[in-house]
Amino acid sequence: MEHEQVETEVVRKSALIYLPISLGVALLFLLAASAGGYPTVARIGGMVWVGLLSLIISMPIVSSHVKKHLRG
């Protein structure tokens, strides 16, 4: 494969992995916060914050793993 094609494939496969992870973590947070009786604004704000943080954390980890898997 050409270098650009490999990079495109890495980006596509990585996004298919880390986006559901981040959405799942955010939904788990919303579920846990809903059980705690917190206000709606706090639950939604926390869900967005946790989703963004998990996206920031999972993106480089997943991308490097997919890149290693495709190249080797």
Interval 23-63: pLDDT, tens = 999 999 999 999 988 999 999 999 999 999 999 999 999 99
Question: What is the pLDDT at residue 1?
Answer: 59
Number of C-alpha atoms within 13 angstroms, CB side, residue 25? 17
Contacts of 13 (CB under 8 A, 6+ apart): 66, 70
pTM: 0.86
